Amino acid sequence: MFNRVRDSLVYPKEILKYRKDRILFVLFYLIFFAILLSSRTVIDVVKFDGLSDVYKASIEEKMTVVSQDCEILNAELICTGDHLIMAYEESLFSIYLDSNSSIHFNTYPSDKYSLIIHDDQIYFYIFGINSLTVPLSDLPLKLQNINFSDQVNNPTVFYDNLFSGVDELLLNYKTIWGTITIVTEILISIIFYLIFTLVSAWFMKIRYKVISFKEVFVLTTYSSTSLFVILTFYSMLELNLIIIIILLVISFRQSGIMNREIERRLKKKC
């Protein structure tokens, strides 16, 4: 693999000698760089030790001030009267307090994630499906007792307790959500690279009809190495846009050198 990476980055003409590589090896090559692209996510998950102060401030701004007489006491939602309260909302995620005698899922949006607190349970309603139910008693103690009147009367204590409970919950289940996050990110990266390579190979096949699609796919994958490397560094280091543009120009130049070598060899055969 090292020789292919080296030649793709430094000696693009030499890529052609690898055109007969087995397709499984080429897919492994692509997956390897897809994993590197996801390394930022892996690092973030490993280093995670609680919500950042910036994100906490954002949550505090978006939270609804619950004016109804409601509290979570001893792992149970207790309200004076029947209420359906949206306590927090983001573009794809909402948290509800539901003190009605029974829960009616058709009243909740089916195009986002909804976390519904009802009686002594939490319901995870995901895109129209009640996917998971968890007892409130399974949460950290600070989330089993929340007096929403403290949002106004004692906001510092309210949010300190809330975020301490959320951090404890996230850290307790870090192995589960962290693994899901990393695997999802890697799968998305693989799909992205695969689609990009297949589309590029298709255009290259139109240009060089005499070359088999399998060989075109192999050459396209290797010739995209510089782009894969650029995206990896951009993901990990968040490079300046100007640097990225310069590196992309270099990347396209490498592909151009390989294409000229293909044309030279094809003309030589004629």
Residue 123, φ and ψ in degrees, nearest 5: -110, 130
Instruction: Tell the burial category of 118 from Cβ atoms under 10 Å away from its Cβ (0-12, 13-18, 19+).
Output: buried
Position 270 pLDDT exceeds 60: no
The structure's pTM equals: 0.75
d(CA 86, CA 74): 21
Q: Cα dist. 198→25, 93, 202, 262 in Å?
A: 16, 34, 6, 19
Q: How confident is the model at residue 118 (pLDDT cuts 50, 70, 90)?
A: very high
Summarize the confidence of residues 83-92 as an average pLDDT: 86
pLDDT digits (tens, 9 = 90+) for 207-218: 777 788 888 898
**pLDDT score recorded for residue 169:** 87
**pLDDT score recorded for residue 16:** 75
